[in-house]
Structure 1
Amino acid sequence: MTIRSVAAGPVLPPVTTAVLPPVPTAVPAAYLDSPDSIAEHTTADGLRVAAVRRPSVPVVELRLAVPLGGVDDDHAATAEVLAAVLLGSTARGTRADLEAALGLLGGSLKASVTPERLTVQGAVTAEGLAPALELLGATLADPRRPPDEVLTHRTLLGHRLRAYRAQPGVVAREAMLEHCFPGHPLAREVPTPEAVAAVEDARVEALHARALLPSGSRLLLVGDLDPMSAVAVAEHALRTWRGQGEAARMPRLPAPVPGVAVVSRPGSRQVQVCLLAPVPDAEDPKHPAVRLAHLVLAASFGSRLTERLRERDGLTYRVRSRITDHPERSLLAVDFDTRPGQLGVALAALREELDGFATDNPPSDEEITAARGYAVGSVTVLSATQNGTANLLNALPPETVLGNRLPEQLRRIARTGDEEVRAAARDLAAADFAGIVLTAPSGTEQAAREVEAAGFRPPGR
């Protein structure tokens, strides 16, 4: 994309960018510096088990990640129902029996699902780890669930989905995914209530038996444990969980369809803007520089877009930005809402900030130092706790060798130079953004003109 400035009315005073104070960057010794504080093992059934010693309190955090990619139209709905009933009644007892047994062990578990994976997460006392894993193994090994339980949770899920899908932000994200990734499972991340209502217990049982497989999955344990002993306990406790084949990964995410489309939504009072751009993936040497440039641009409370769109110009209440990592592709996502009459000004301000990134206002030394401290400090603070360490490591793909992954992330950020960050900023500014502008039917033509006037390419050009 050709970078060009956009005229946006009278000349305004320069923006004073707030620089975040640095975050302490001391790295906790436990796990990060101790080679015997983590053990990793792949069982005979292909399950990767990783145990990390974090002895702050006598608790163990548990994260089970099962790749659950599927391309069928009904996959998302069936997977949602499966997650809802997974930790429920089996031949060994009812849902209430399972919850009571976990409660006596000082623990709890819950299941959730995305287009990429099904996750079981929770915590249990260190002494209760072995029996809790036995209970989990029993639920994973038995795909049968009572039809009345499937019906109950299918109905409850349908009610929740109706309320969730009525939110403007959810509608906008769905429209963005459908535009950017047509036909890909990610575009169906939230099933419709009608699709969920059509899910029968036989389909849930079939998906469980076919897709919830140990091979390709990962069990992560973080807490007050001996890593080698915990791995052995987990392998024994989950011995009954078996299956043929390997858990299916979500298909590789293609590059988003370029262009910013205007989408009509009757009844819309606000205009929702959702934009995506591909960035170097997590394994690319440029990735740390992109994350630091992203912090300066949009990802923190004191970022340039927040300062400009919210604090200075009052165009939105919140600007959200994040970098998400998917199979072989990372994406920068920026979204905000604004009033219909201010869309053109908001898009022009966004383009002006992007252009400044590439030309006369690149990230300053102070901004980069603050972003580096924030990035390192965030990982450091999270990895100092059992729950935080478990969440950081669980976010990595199940096939990842964890080892010294967190300290290596910190080292990569620390050694990323200022000029590398500025080069990444220029790349972000030049990105060919895809996405949507969601507005009322009466505003679509005007919105399309404002999108193009702000320098964002319409679809098909």
Structure 2
Amino acid sequence: MTSATHRSADEIGRTERGPRPLPPLGEQRAAADLSHVDTTLANGLRVLAVRKATVPMVEARLWIPFAGEDALHPATAEVLAETILTGTARRNRIEIDTELALIGGDIGAGVDPERLVFTGSALADKLPTFLDVLGDVLTGATYADEEIAREKERLVERIAVSRTQPRTIAREALQKHRYGDHPATREVPKAEDVAVVTPEQVRALHRASVLPRGSVLVLVGDLDADGVIDELEKVLGGWASDRSAVRLPPLPDLTGPSVRLVPRAGAVQSQIRLSAQAVPRTDPGYAALQLANLAYGGYFSSRLVENIRENKGYTYSAHSGFEFTDGTAVVNVDADTATDATAPALLETRYELGRLGQVPPSGDELESVRQYAIGSLLTSTSSQSGLAGQVLALASTGLGLEWLNEHPARVAEVTADEVAEAALKYFAPKRFTGVVVGDAAVLERKLLALGDVVVGEPA
């Protein structure tokens, strides 16, 4: 009969003769040592075309800065993303879907306060047809009245459901607490705003904001990287404007240590969301910060997970990771807990932040996170889809494929002292702000006793 005795991660990693030895890091190869072209078309669109001929497919990612100050912008942008593929002057919805299906392709669109993103793929030998459809959508989307009405009705229902979800409530509270009324906080539009969006407003937003200058197109797959540029100049030649796509205003830097208890009467669970200013991938200290974050809460064998999940059972999942927005970065800490475990979980989360700076990772712990960082990067770029996503994330901040090629070596060279400095500088508890969403009637007294906690909805 199998023993039910719980074993910690440390115990699992040991044998009767002592700790399981970690294999040494091998020679670090580039994450994406592939032939590619990185250029800007005549219309101002940056294009990165990468040859990765693992399968006869091409993955496409188009990133368009899509910020807006108008109060109705989030709702109008959401309707636009839902209806941009429903018809053009040349093709109706059925014709678009049929033509894509015949080339083994698909295209989807999504939007947030920072960007409008198209994600798609097609058989490599049908790439010209795929690009023709994409160009047609970008230049000729019609937003028929009946399509707008149909998608608005679906959106209103989805938004109403989404706004009842604890994670959505917590995210919105965190955004308001961090950034006030900054446009970046408007991630989920109001259902009542969506209901009043008109087709003409959507068409006007397309004309004003679906622009190539300042946007990025990534193509990864079995392609001729040089030849595809000529095809793009031809297909996207009609997509042009003297204006640039609209980027978000700069985000304010975060300051701690105040954590806000946001009341949610009767909730049986609480959402802990902490956040602190970090540095972007372009910063020379990013590699050391990345390793410090992994040790804290960035993967399953991290200190935070070991403490509040494995040892104390306060949460099923706890995690820390980076959030990159238009050249800036923050590190976030997330955990969902039962109401009666919320205060102890917040206490231990802060404790692990402080311990990371005072007892930084070294030895086997450091080598574990180093190998995880390098291995996960190589894994994430092993597929065409994964590589396309990574290249797009980098290109949207001005970086290129070179960053992927060079980053494993940077991680391999990070010293224990550099990780210790990053831990002390960026993971100090006093640097973190955030929210706890939960039942204030139960939590208020205990959380206030921890200090640096205020109560009430964000202003």
Q: Decide: shared fold, TM above 0.5.
A: yes
Distance in 1 (alpha carbons) for counterparts of 2:279 and 2:135: 38
Sort the Cα spacing of 1:72 and 1:257 in 2 relative to 1 into closer, same or farther, 3 A: farther
Match of 1:11 in 2: none
Aligned pairs for 1:270-419 within 5 A: 270-359=269-358, 361-398=359-396, 400-419=398-417
Partner of residue 441, structure 2: 442
Q: After superposition, what is the alpha-carbon deviation per residue over 1:393-442, rounded to whole angstroms, capped at 9, x for unaligned?
A: 11124362414121122222122111101111112331511111111242
User: Are the equivalent residues in 2 in contact too, given 1:253–1:328 (CA < 8 A)?
Assistant: no
The alpha carbon displacement at 1:144 in A equals 2.5
| 1:78 and 2:76 correspond | yes
1:320 maps to a residue whose letter is H
Distance across 1 between alignment mates of 2:59 and 2:379: 17
SS of equivalent to 2:219: strand
Q: Which amino acid is 2:245 matched to? A: A
Q: State the shift of 1:143 in Å.
A: 4.3
**Relative to structure 1, is the Cα distance of residues 24 and 366 closer, same or farther in structure 2, using a 3 angstrom cutoff?**
closer
Alpha-carbon distance in structure 2 between the residues aligned to 1:137 and 1:447: 57
Residue 8 of structure 1 corresponds to none
Contact map agreement 2:107 2:119 (CA 8 A) in 1: yes
**Alpha carbons 1:257, 1:434 under 8 Å: kept:** yes
Distance in 1 separating the partners of 2:446 and 2:238: 57
The one-letter amino acid paired with 2:433 is: A
Q: Where do 1:230-269 residues align within 5 Å?
A: 230-256=228-254, 258=256, 259-269=258-268
Is the Cα–Cα contact under 8 Å of residues 32 and 407 in structure 1 kept in the other structure?
Answer: yes
Percent of pairs with identical residues: 36
Write the letter of the residue equivalent to 2:94: A
The separation in 2 between residues aligned to 1:355 and 1:199, in whole angstroms, is 48
Distance in 1 between residues matched to 2:449 and 2:318, nearest whole Å? 19
Deviations 1:326-359 (A, max 9, x none): 2232101011122222222112212222222222
CA shift in 2, pair 1:226/1:114, >3 Å = same
CA RMSD of aligned residues (A): 2.2
Deviations 1:27-67 (A, max 9, x none): 667x8335xx1002211110111100000111000001101
1:216 corresponds to which residue? 214
Distance in 2, matches of 1:27 and 1:133, equals 36
Deviation for aligned residue 1:267: 3.3
Tell me if structure 2 keeps the 8 A contact 1:218–1:399.
no
Q: State the distance in 2 between where 1:75 and 1:231 align.
A: 33
- Give unmatched runs, 5+ long, in structure 2: 1-7, 14-19
User: Residue type of the partner of 1:136?
Assistant: L
The residue that corresponds to 1:48 in the other structure is 46
Distance (whole Å) between structure 2 residues aligned to residue 364 and residue 18 of structure 1: 19
Equivalent residue number for residue 55 of structure 2:
57
Q: Which residue of 1 aligns with 2:118?
A: 120
Q: Counterparts in 2 of 1:122-201, with a 5 A limit?
A: 122-201=120-199
CA distance in 2, matches of 1:440, 1:200: 39
1:137 shift after superposition? 0.6
How many Å separate the matches in 2 of 1:152 and 1:23?
58
* TM-superposed deviation, 1:178: 0.7
2:33 corresponding residue in structure 1: 33
Cα pair 1:17 1:307 within 8 Å, conserved:
no
Is 2:319–2:335's contact at 8 Å kept on the other side of the alignment? yes
CA apart distance, 1:99: 0.6
Give 1:172 deviation, angstroms. Answer: 0.6
Give the number of aligned pairs. 440
CA distance in 2, matches of 1:428, 1:15: 26
Contact 1:216 1:246 in 2 (8 A): yes
Matched AA of 2:118: V
Contact map agreement 1:354 1:428 (CA 8 A) in 2: no
- Aligned residue identity for 2:55: V
Q: 1:109 — aligned with what?
A: 107
Output the CA distance in 1 between the equivalents of 2:117 and 2:384.
Answer: 17
**1-side partners of 2:67 and 2:122: how far apart?**
29
Distance in 2, Cα, partners of 1:319 & 1:179: 21
Answer yes or no: is the 8 Å Cα contact 2:343–2:443 preserved in 1.
Answer: no
- TM-score using structure 1 length: 0.90
CA distance in 2, matches of 1:436, 1:227: 47
Distance (Å, rounded) in 2 between the aligned partners of 1:242 and 1:399: 22
User: What's the offset of the Cα at 1:457?
Assistant: 5.5
